[in-house]
Structure 1
């Protein structure tokens, strides 16, 4: 029989999903490996989605999304992000995952290079391989508190470099980039005429500073911004995100969206519009819950002398287990799952710079979180 395309056969898998699949086969496992919000979207939003099904609103929608949702996104971007766009710059997608893939599809051709954070979200690299582009990791090092070194990034730029991905707040690190860093990254992109793909999925969860959207600083239309309902509004399964493009892309986006998914389902879009325009107290409550869980988790780690990166955003803790992992944190995570019954994400699932570290999601039940952390081995 014919063989699958070589670039797909060689595409890396997700180290996080590998651990999760094993954990799901073990009843009683404490699962801290996946970024699933512990909160639940409010009943008013759920009722809107249910009403769409009852009303039979399950037909095709416009490629870019229903007008009510696109208008709500335009208002949200102006209100929360200081990003002022026309509705035709907003394209509703099947979660941020599709928005990221579409942004990379628009920016990259076969053989192009894209600069990706290391450690960074797994699909940055997976998408590049699927598009027959080359992901080039830019290191985020512990000695710099996992902040980018602009001179190191600039040294990675070649004539084939077409884009750089920026993710703040960061998954997996729980770190954020300040205004000076964002402006410096944009200046680098201008010097080398690069696209900037800005992943802002965790925008509403920042600890100690206000989130700044790269597109609010963009002077020449090179930023493609990715957002999602999944984490902010605890709607992971509804699969609603959006991509914000420069102006004038409507003809291109119609073709691209039609070729990938045609459109997002109407009930989820109606629910997303209601969530964006409605009472935001559920989001504020979730932020308080995640911040308090982070504080409790950090106190538990401090009490046992386990090192971690103090988080400034998202709902993850990036924890140093190098004293126990023996130079192969992926293998150690499998042993830890088998022996301690706790699933954590190996740092190397997010890039080579993650060796010796694990990512823990604090958005689940707090008692389970603290019990899982109690089972981590402390330094001798």
Structure 2
């Protein structure tokens, strides 16, 4: 039998999906491992998708997306992200995952390197590995308030480095980069002549911090921006996102999009138009709901003496289980699932910097969230963590 491409067996699997796959085989599991909002999709969004199906609007669309959706996205970018772009810079994708893949396909070849956050989302490692490129982690640590260290980034750059990947608000940390930090990171990218890919999936979920799009600060057209409707509008299964490129990539993207997906689902795009142009109160209500869940969850963790990161954005809690996990949080998370029937994401799924931590989704139903957190072990008096369980500032 012929072999697979030599680099494919080395692509790391998703530690999140491993846990969720195991959880799906069990009964009575409280699912806190994946970023699945517990709010329903708004009625006007569902109606727009249904109407497209009912009128048989199911034909192929343009590679970059139907014009009405691209126009709606352009207006949204100008209003919310301080970005003025041509419609040919907007490319509708099958979720943010494909937008990330598309950007990396354009910018990375075999042997190239991309600087990725550690801890950082799983596809930041998986996607470049699928392309034969090499992900190079840079650390996000509590002692630096989870802000990248420019000196470390300078040391990590090599002759093969092509891309810097940024993620704010961060998954899994919930860290939000301010404008000054982003200006420093863009200056670093200019100094080393790197492309920048900015993952902004959680742009509407910040708490006391303003989301800033790096492309709004870009002075020389090096930023590719990745957005999604999945979390904002509870449309995770509808799989609609978009990639915003610097000027001048339309011709090559028509080719690349055709060779990968041809076009996104037409009914899904009509749902996206309704989401972006319609009533935005469900987004504000979801944000308030997630914030209330986070407040209730952190109060419970405080009462139990468990250390965690206070998120400035997204809807996750990054919780320290190093006192219990014995240096292998992945194996501990599996044992915890089997014993307590609570699925949480092991921090090691997000990079070496996540060892000893877990990620919990606070967008879950509050009763499941609090019951799941109540099942976590508590640091005992002999644990180093027991004397330093205060929340970590974001």
User: TM-score by structure 1 length?
Assistant: 0.99
Aligned to 1:44: 44
Q: What is the CA distance between 1:40 and its match in structure 2?
A: 1.4
Superimposed CA distance per residue, residues 77-104 of structure 1 (whole angstroms, 9 cap, x where no aligned partner): 0000001101110000000000000001
Cα distance in 2 for partners of 1:209, 1:143 equals: 20
1:214 lines up with 2:214 in the alignment? yes
Aligned to 1:131: 131
Aligned to 1:171: 171
Q: How does 1:296-375 map to 2 (within 5 A)?
A: 296-375=296-375
Cα distance in 2 for partners of 1:333, 1:81 equals: 38
Backbone CA RMSD of aligned residues = 0.6
2:115–2:165: 8 Å Cα contact kept in structure 1? yes
Q: What is the CA distance between 1:267 and its match in structure 2?
A: 0.3
Aligned to 2:4: 4
Cα distance in 1 for partners of 2:41, 2:31 equals: 21
2:178–2:210: 8 Å Cα contact kept in structure 1? no
Counterpart of 1:6 in 2: which secondary structure?
coil
Counterpart of 2:197 in 1: which secondary structure?
strand
1:119–1:173: 8 Å Cα contact kept in structure 2? yes
Cα distance in 2 for partners of 1:42, 1:188 equals: 41
Cα distance in 1 for partners of 2:149, 2:10 equals: 30
User: TM-score by structure 2 length?
Assistant: 0.96
Cα distance in 1 for partners of 2:360, 2:10 equals: 28
Superimposed CA distance per residue, residues 307-352 of structure 1 (whole angstroms, 9 cap, x where no aligned partner): 0011000000000000100111001001100111111000000000
Counterpart of 1:124 in 2: which secondary structure?
helix
Counterpart of 2:92 in 1: which secondary structure?
strand
Q: What is the CA distance between 1:115 and its match in structure 2?
A: 0.2
Superimposed CA distance per residue, residues 106-151 of structure 1 (whole angstroms, 9 cap, x where no aligned partner): 1111100000000001001100110000000001113223221111
Aligned to 1:200: 200
Counterpart of 1:35 in 2: which secondary structure?
coil
Counterpart of 2:7 in 1: which secondary structure?
helix
Q: How does 1:119-158 map to 2 (within 5 A)?
A: 119-158=119-158
1:292 lines up with 2:292 in the alignment? yes
Aligned to 1:267: 267
Cα distance in 2 for partners of 1:368, 1:246 equals: 43
Q: What is the CA distance between 1:10 and its match in structure 2?
A: 1.4
1:145–1:309: 8 Å Cα contact kept in structure 2? no
1:29 lines up with 2:40 in the alignment? no
Cα distance in 2 for partners of 1:142, 1:332 equals: 23
Q: Structure 1: any 5+ residue segments left out of the alignment? A: none
Runs of 4+ in 1 over 4 A off after TM superposition: none
Counterpart of 1:243 in 2: which secondary structure?
strand
Count residues with an aligned counterpart.
380
Q: What is the CA distance between 1:39 and its match in structure 2?
A: 1.1
Cα distance in 2 for partners of 1:314, 1:355 equals: 21
Cα distance in 2 for partners of 1:127, 1:294 equals: 30
Worse-superposed segment, 172-181 or 256-265: 172-181
Aligned to 1:117: 117
